[in-house]
Every structure is written in C-alpha cells, then in structure tokens.
C-alpha cells in the first residue's frame, strides 16, 4: 500500500510554528532597549557681560567658520596657515580617525541589511567501510564518489530589541564626534599658530625698540666719552652709561632666544622642519601685525556658543554615544533571533547538477537566550550608565570652561585697550623727560644720573607699549578660539539669506 504524501503535514507544522513566532515578533517589535537620547540641559546666562564696541551676531553653524586670521592683514601669516592646514601631521591624524569612524559607521549600518552568501564545493571522496553503523539490519560498504554543491544563503538578524539600532546610533554619534574633533583640532591649530606668530612679531617689535634704545645709548656713550676726555664728565658718568648699554645688549640676546623658540614652534605647527625654517622680521621697524578692529568681532548669545565650539559639539556627541552604549548593554537580557534561508543544488555528477532532484533548500529560525551569567550583564549596564554620567559631566565641564574663556577674552581686550592708550601717553611723557634731562646735563644744571634714569624710563615705557600691542593681538586670537571661529556679521548674514 502506498504511503500518502506528507507535504500537507509539514505545512501544518509550519503553520503551528508561525503562530508563536508571530506573537513573539508582535511583542518585541518596535522595542529598543535602553533610554532614548536626550541632550543634557544646561543653565546658561542670557547674555555676555559686554560693553561697546561689542554687538550681537546671529550664529550660523552650517557656514564655514572662516579664515579668521586674514583679519590681521598679514600675507606671511596667511601663507603659514595654508601650509599648516595642508601639512600639519596632527590634523592629518584627526582626518584619518574621522575616516576610520565613518568606515565603522558603514560597517555597523550594514547589520540592518540581510547577509547574502554564495558557496560552492566540488570534492571527490571515499567513504569508510568501517564507519559506525546507522542500521543493524544492513552493513556498511566503501564508496568513492563526487560531491558537487552550489548553494546560496540568506541570513537576517531580527532587531527586535533594538541592539542594532542602538549600535548604529552609537556609531553615528562617534562619527559625528570625530568630525567635531577634526574641526576642533583645526581651530586649535590655527589659533596656536597665530598665537606663536603674534608672539614672534611682538618680540620683533620689542627688538626694534631695543635697537633704537641701543643706538640712543651708544650716541650718549660717545657724548659722555667726549666730555670725559675734555674733563667735563666724570669717570662715574662714563661707567654708568656703559653699564646701561651692556644691560640693554643682554636683554637683546634674551629676546632673540625667545624669538627662536617661537620661530621653531611656528615651523612645527606649519609642518616644516625647524632647522630649515627662517621667518625674517617684517620690513620697516619690524612692528607686530595690525590689530583688527574690535567692532569686527561679533558675539552671539551664550547659548549660541554651544552650536559654534567644536569641542562642545564633540563632548555632546560623546554623551550620545555613551547613551547608546546603555541600550547595547541592556539588549544582552533578550534573546538573539536570526532568520535564515538557503537554496541550491547538490549532485554527484555535473550532468545532473541542475536537475530537479538535485534541488535542496532550507528555511528556519534560530534563537539563543542567556539564562545565567553571574551578574555580567548587569555589571555591563552599570558600567555603561557610569560612562554616560561621566560624559555628561565632561560636557558640562567643557561648556563652563568655554564660558570662562569668552568672558576672559572680552574683559581682557577691554582692559588692554585702555592700558595701550595709557601706555602711548607714558611713552610721550618719558621722551619729554629724556629730552629735558639731556638738555639740563649738557647745560651743567644736573648730574648725568638724571639722563640715565630718563633713558631707562623711556626704554621701559616703549617696551611696555610694544608688549601691550602683542597682548592685544594674542587676546584677540584667544577670543576667536573661545568663540569657536570667526562669526559672520549680522548684516552679512541677513543679506546672504534667501528671500522668502
């Protein structure tokens, strides 16, 4: 009697299996383990503590931060910046890390798609006659035969608990953090290069002051020497003027040593070997680059700073990545379910490989669930939550430091502007004192010590004025860095905005 086909029974088995699976999918679908990300809230001031000439500006984070160093109007600085942006190894390293993080994001995102594979096998094998029996009613015998197989497989992990989703979220945040890190390194690089360049030019300006002081003191020494030879000046007058000149020459040597250090720093930041780099003083008196007008520096609201500073953006993205790690760790409590399907042909002969009887296929589902781990999963979740708390604290730290840097820059520039104006008055006053002291000495109305004191006072006031100009430039650079780059003027933004 012929046994009836069992295909309907197999369909019934599949139908009975599909019921529980459908219920499981319905219960777990749409669930993502761990908390959804919420950007940390900060208590920020409503405005900066500023006075004229500062004024507000609307931020535009999507726009480039701008080549802010061009405000100094120094072609040499512009050329060094271009060299640094093209050759600095630290910037290249940050770019490589960004490329790595984006590749990791692509790899993680690929988990959302099914994996398709193709396998083929062509073997000729001999079966042992002494292998274990599969049935005691028969006997084993040895055979030699071919085995030709061609199959395609498809596997897809059901992301019922949101593990893959959280992984993609974490990888996305990490890639965005790497991009913000790159922007931060670019900002720090340009700011450090500008700061070292400004310090170098300030020393050039101070060396110019000393050069003029040395020339003045040499002329005074010649005058005193002549008067000494004529008996009109004492040996003490001559010794005092020579000591003043020697002291000034020592200061020149010390400043040249400092200039060499800044010159080497500029070379390294620009990606140039320091031994072969020379940055000559500027033509003329070797003065520092022109200080940009303070009205050109625009300020937004303190809350806008969060959208401008790349280090703040990187810290905030680190919080998002840490939040995703909580979800990834939490998914370990739930089962891992994978759908699999495969199909192909298998035959001992290439002639019959693609015949209907050679067809083979499979479809199924696999699931795994951890029952006991001794607290490993919970420890991982606790560690992820601690990492998130640390990332939030670091975010707050970076924001508070940014607020301090901006306020320091604003108040510092205001104080330096007032001091520089007063220093100019002091220079004019000490020049008049020197002229009067020299005239009185030549007329025999005062000792030469008065001239020495006046020369020292003039040198000190001129050096102080030069140092204040350098500090103004340096503070302007640091303020631009604190603001996260150059700010577009509000009028320029309004004119650039498309009409609605």
In sequence order, the β-bridge partners of residue 150 are 120, 345
In Å, how far are 14, 167, 441 from 84, measured between CA atoms?
66, 36, 55
Q: Which CATH architecture has domain 28-87+162-333+375-494?
A: Up-down Bundle (1.20)
pLDDT tens digits along 406-464: 888 878 877 888 888 888 898 899 899 989 988 888 888 888 888 888 888 888 888 88
The token pair at 456 is 């020292």
Cα-to-chain-centroid distance, residue 306: 15
Q: Give Cα separations from 210 to 72, 78, 251, 463 (angstroms).
A: 24, 28, 8, 8
The contacts found for 135-139 with CB under 8 angstroms, 24 or more apart, are: none
Residue of 444, 459, 424 whose CA lies nearest to 217: 459
Cβ–Cβ under 8 Å, residues 153 and 339: no
Nearest 5°: phi and psi at 368? -135, 140
Radius of gyration of the chain (CA): 39
Q: What does the CA dihedral 340, 341, 347, 353 come to, rounded to 10 degrees?
A: -150
Please confirm whether the linkage preceding 53 is cis (ω < 30° from 0): yes
**Where in the chain are the domains?**
28-87+162-333+375-494
Q: Which two three-digit tokens encode residue 280?
A: 């000559």
Tokens of 450: 């008065």
Return the closest-CA partner of residue 34 out of 448, 480, 433, 385: 385
For the record, the structure tokens of 112 come out as 């959302």
Which residues lie across from 184 on neighbouring strands?
none
Dihedral sign for Cα atoms in the order 456, 460, 462, 466: positive
d(CA 481, CA 69): 11
The Cα–Cα gap between 338 and 343 comes to 17
pLDDT at position 294, please?
A: 42
Q: How many CB atoms lie within 10 A of CB 500?
A: 3
**What is the pLDDT at residue 401?**
87
**Cα–Cα dist 375/333, whole Å:** 11
What pLDDT score does 47 carry? 52
pLDDT score for 280: 85
Under-50 pLDDT residues of the chain: 1-15, 17-19, 21-23, 25-29, 46, 50-63, 285-295, 488-500
Given strand 359-368, what is the order of strands in its sheet? 115-127, 143-158, 336-347, 359-368
Query: Tokens 């992301």 sit at which residue?
Result: 159
pLDDT of residue 258: 93
pLDDT at 65: 59
- Output the furthest CA–CA distance in the chain (Å, rounded): 149
Tokens of 257: 């040593």
3-state helix/strand/coil string of the chain? CCCCCCHHHHHHHHHHHHHHHHHHHHHHCCCCCCCCCCCCCCCCCCCCCCCCCCCECCCCCCCCCCCHHHHHCCHHHHHHHHHHHHHCHHHHHHHHHHHHHHHHHHHHHHHHCCEEEEEEEEEEEEECCCCCCCCCCCCCCCEEEEEEEEEEEEEEEECCCCHHHHHHHHHHHHHHHHHHHHHHHHHHHHHHHHHHHHHHHHHHHHHHHHHHHHHHHHHHHHHHHHHHHCCCCCHHHHHHHHHHHHHHHHHHHHHHHHHHHHHHHHHHHCCCCHHHCCCCCCCCCCCCCCCCCHHHCCECCHHHHHHHCHHHHHHHHHHHHHHHHHHHHHHHHCCEEEEEEEEEEEECCCCCCCCHHHEEEEEEEEEECCCCCCCHHHHHHHHHHHHHHHHHHHHHHHHHHHHHHHHHHHHHHHHHHHHHHHHHHHHHHHHHHHHHHHHHHHCCCCCHHHHHHHHHHHHHHHHHHHHHHHHHHHHHHHHHHHCCCCCCCHHHHHHHCCCC
Predicted pLDDT of residue 459: 86
């Amino acid at each position: 009697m012929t046994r009836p086909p069992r295909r309907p029974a197999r369909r019934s088995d599949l139908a009975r299996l599909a019921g529980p699976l459908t219920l499981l999918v319905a219960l777990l679908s749409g669930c993502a383990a761990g908390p959804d990300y919420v950007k940390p809230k900060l208590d920020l001031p409503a405005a900066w503590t500023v006075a004229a000439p500062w004024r507000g500006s609307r931020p535009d984070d999507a726009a480039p931060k701008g080549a802010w160093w061009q405000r100094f109007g120094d072609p040499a600085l512009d050329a060094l910046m271009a060299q640094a942006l093209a050759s600095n190894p630290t910037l290249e390293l940050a770019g490589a890390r960004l490329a790595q993080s984006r590749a990791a994001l692509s790899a993680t995102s690929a988990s959302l798609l099914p994996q398709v594979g193709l396998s083929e096998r062509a073997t000729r094998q001999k079966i042992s006659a002494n292998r274990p029996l599969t049935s005691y009613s028969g006997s084993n015998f040895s055979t030699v035969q071919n085995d030709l197989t061609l199959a395609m497989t498809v596997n897809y992990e059901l992301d019922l608990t949101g593990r893959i989703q959280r992984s993609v979220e974490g990888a996305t945040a990490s890639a965005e953090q790497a991009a913000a890190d790159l922007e931060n390194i670019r900002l720090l690089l340009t700011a450090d290069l500008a700061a070292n360049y400004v310090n170098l030019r300030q020393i050039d300006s101070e060396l110019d002051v000393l050069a003029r002081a040395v020339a003045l003191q040499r002329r005074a020494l010649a005058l005193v020497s002549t008067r000494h030879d004529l008996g009109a000046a004492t040996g003490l007058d001559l010794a005092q003027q020579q000591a003043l000149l020697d002291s000034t020459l020592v200061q020149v040597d010390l400043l040249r040593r400092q200039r060499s250090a800044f010159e080497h720093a500029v070379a390294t930041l620009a990606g140039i070997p320091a031994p072969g780099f020379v940055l000559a003083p500027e033509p003329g008196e070797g003065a520092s680059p022109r200080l940009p007008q303070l009205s050109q520096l625009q300020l937004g609201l303190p809350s806008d700073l969060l959208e401008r500073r790349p280090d703040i953006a990187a810290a905030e993205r680190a919080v998002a990545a840490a939040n995703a790690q909580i979800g990834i760790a939490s998914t370990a409590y739930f089962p891992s379910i994978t759908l699999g399907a495969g199909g192909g042909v298998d035959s001992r002969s290439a002639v019959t490989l693609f015949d209907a009887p050679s067809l083979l296929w499979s479809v199924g589902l696999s699931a795994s669930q951890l029952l006991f781990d001794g607290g490993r999963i919970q420890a991982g979740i606790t560690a992820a939550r601690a990492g998130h708390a640390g990332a939030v604290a670091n975010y707050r730290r970076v924001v508070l430091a940014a607020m301090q840097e901006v306020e320091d820059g604003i108040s510092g520039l205001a104080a330096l502007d007032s001091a520089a104006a007063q220093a100019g008055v002091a220079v004019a006053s000490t020049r008049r004192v020197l002229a009067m002291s020299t005239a009185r000495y030549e007329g025999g109305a005062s000792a030469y010590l008065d001239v020495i004191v006046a020369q020292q006072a003039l040198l000190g006031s001129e050096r102080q004025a030069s140092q204040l100009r350098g500090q103004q430039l340096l503070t302007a650079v640091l303020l631009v860095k604190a603001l996260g780059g150059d700010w577009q003027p509000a009028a320029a933004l309004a004119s650039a905005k498309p009409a609605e």
